[in-house]
Amino acid sequence: MDFNDTDQEAEFRREVRDWIARNAPTELWETLNSFSFGQAKMDSDALMRHSKAWQRKKHVGGWACLNWPKAYGGRGATPIERVIWQQEEGVYAMLSAVFTLGIGMCGPTLLENASEAQCRRHLPKIASGEEVWCQLFSEPSGGSDLAGLRTSAKREGDEWVVDGQKIWTTGAHYSDYGLLLARTDFTVPKHRGLTMFYVDMKTPGIEVRPIKQLNGQSEFNEVYFTGARIPDAQRIGDVGAGWHISLTTLMNERLAVGGVMPTGFPEMLAFCEALQTDAGPAIEDPDICAHLAGWAIRHLGLKHTSNRTLSALSNGKLPGPENSIAKLVISQTLQEIAHYAMSLQGDWGILVDEADAVDEGRFQAYLLRSPGMRIEGGTDEILRNIIGERVLGLPADIRVDKTMPFNQIPVSGTAPSHPAAARSDVVDNRAV
Ligand SMILES: Cc1cc2nc3c(=O)[nH]c(=O)nc-3n(C[C@H](O)[C@H](O)[C@H](O)COP(=O)(O)OP(=O)(O)OC[C@H]3O[C@@H](n4cnc5c(N)ncnc54)[C@H](O)[C@@H]3O)c2cc1C
């Protein structure tokens, strides 16, 4: 494998560097560089304003959503050109976080499944940052078992009436639109009764309630639907085809989420290089070095795994299940590193406030956010299932309720109505 740029790629990289040097908001460079856990040190209104301005500029310059077709606001670039852009955008990519779901997941889902009219209406606005989108999939009864969701959409003429609850909806509080998976038929097996829609988040009957996180921020929400009316023109694909459409979103989710997660290793190495313990420089302590060596090996393994993806992309192939490996290893590594860094800080490790804490509380912030990383975009267990089944070729998980009509699957508190229902705890999962 040759990881050097081809002549054409090198020329493209030069063009990207040149444009970024001339157009990036360099006045924000320092602020963006002193972030804490992926969050720029900027209030949320300013972050949204700067994010939209940078996205708009990229769109006007032809650098937004690089691999989308030109007709929909992209550039028609190759996947490898998109990777080159991401490598060169550097710290300014932090201004793209609010668009991760819209550009990384909802847009690609529309591209592949929506009508020409729906694509023309929304994709250019997603690309220019004018429309911010969120993903309304998970529910209290449908997270890993996404096909078990219960939010219902009932047809009334040219409209659908939606009732139910979504949860963990990232960015619902600032989104203009949401991609909604709902159940339109309760009498068929669970995967066949789902339909995909998109909703205007200002629709009457949609209520967004923020959830407060461990770290005090509120990135996620509960979203309640009470008789919310959605025009049939906002249905994506056929009635009952929602499961297959959701797989496009989930496939892109692992790419979009995994690609932006930090491992914390470079920060940890720098921290240990600077740290003085009672016994002398931390970097001379064999125990600390052994820990660092373990994380260095994982860091290199991840780099080579990502190089393998790059090489597949440059050969015109699609990324495979190795993204599940990367997401699993990255989120575990970050959590371990944060924990160890805090233990090295001794009593200072309990300080969280960035004004008092060591290294502005960087590792404390990592530790508070990392449990979520092990769940979002597929939990560790689900990722292991994917790796077991798709990479190692091991037998698949048992799926006993796959062929049972959804309304006959017992819910807690009801007696099993079918012999297989006694095992209804063994669920299908979001594996793609
Ligand atoms: C930070 C964050 C952001 C999120 N953002 C969004 C968003 O924007 N939109 C959205 O729709 N959702 C979002 N989610 C929800 C997320 O996708 C779900 O939390 C996730 O799919 C897990 O579902 P669950 O929480 O219902 O857990 P459950 O599915 O109830 O799982 C509980 C436990 O059981 C394990 N388990 C379940 N099934 C199996 C199985 N078959 N084999 C082995 N173990 C199993 C799980 O791995 C887990 O450990 C977000 C979650 C987080 C934490």
Band (260; pLDDT cuts 50, 70, 90): low
pLDDT tens column, 308-330:
877 777 777 766 777 788 889 99
**Cβ atoms < 10 Å from Cβ of 162:** 25
Model confidence band, residue 206 (pLDDT cutoffs 50, 70, 90): very high
Question: For 188-197, how does the pLDDT look when each residue is reduced to its tens digit (9 = 90+)?
Answer: 999 999 999 9
Q: Which atom of ligand 1 has the smallest separation from the CA of 172? A: 8
Higher pLDDT, 425 or 358: 358
Is residue 89 flagged as an active site residue?
no
What integer is the mean pLDDT of 106-131? 97
C-alpha of residue 398 to centroid of ligand 1, in Å? 18
Amino acid 83: pLDDT: 83
Rounded CA separation 362/39 (Å) = 11
C-alpha dihedral, 215 to 338 to 373 to 64, nearest 10°: 90
- In angstroms and rounded to an integer, the radius of gyration of the C-alpha atoms of the chain is 23
The confidence band for 417, taking pLDDT boundaries of 50, 70 and 90, is very low
- pLDDT band at residue 132 under the 50/70/90 scheme: very high
Predicted confidence (pLDDT) at residue 426 exceeds the cutoff of 90: no
Mean pLDDT (the chain, rounded) = 89
**End-to-end Cα separation, the chain, in angstroms:** 28
Pairing mode of beta strands 206-211, 194-200: unpaired
Measure 386 CA to ligand 1 centroid, in angstroms.
14
Give pLDDT tens digits for 216-229.
778 899 999 999 99
Q: Is the CB of 397 inside a 6 Å radius of any atom of ligand 1? A: yes
Q: Is 430's C-beta closer than 6 angstroms to any atom of ligand 1?
A: yes
Residues 309 and 183: their CA atoms lie apart, in Å, by: 35
Least confident of 25-39, 86-100, 187-201, 233-247: 25-39
Question: Which of 11-20, 28-37, 78-87, 263-272 is the least confident region?
Answer: 28-37
Q: Region 332-361: what's the mean pLDDT?
A: 90
Catalytic option among 81, 253, 322, 336: 253
Residue nearest (by alpha carbon) to ligand 1 atom 38: 144
Q: Band of the pLDDT at 178, cuts 50, 70, 90? A: very high
State the Cα–Cα distance between residues 16 and 21, nearest whole angstrom: 9
Indicate whether 421 pLDDT > 50: no
Q: Which residue has the higher pLDDT, 32 or 186?
A: 186
The alpha carbon of 145 and the centre of ligand 1 are apart by a number of angstroms equal to 8
pLDDT (0 to 100) of residue 342:
94
Please name the residue whose Cα sits nearest to atom 12 of ligand 1.
138
Reply yes or no on whether the pLDDT at 365 is more than 80: yes
Task: Tell me the DSSP string of 85-118.
Answer: HHHHHGGGGGGGGGGHHIIIIIHHHHHHHS-HHH
| Residue 36 pLDDT grade (very low, low, confident, very high; cuts 50, 70, 90) | low
Using 50, 70 and 90 to split pLDDT, how confident is the model at 38? low
For 165-199, b where at least 16 C-beta lie within 10 A, e where not — what string?
bbbbbbbbbbbbbbbbbbbbbeebbbbbbbbbbbb
Residue % of the chain over a pLDDT of 70:
91
Tell me if 63 CB under 6 Å of ligand 1. no
Q: Does the structure show a pLDDT above 70 at 40?
A: no
pLDDT at 406 over 60: yes
Residue 267 · residue 362 · CB < 8 Å: yes
Mean pLDDT of 397-410: 89
Task: Indicate which residue's Cα is closest to atom 52 of ligand 1.
Answer: 376
Q: Is the dihedral of CA 329, 330, 331, 334 positive or negative?
A: positive
Residue 221 sits at φ, ψ, to 5 deg, of -145, 160
Which range scores top for mean pLDDT: 116-125, 278-287, 340-349?
A: 116-125
* pTM (predicted TM-score): 0.90
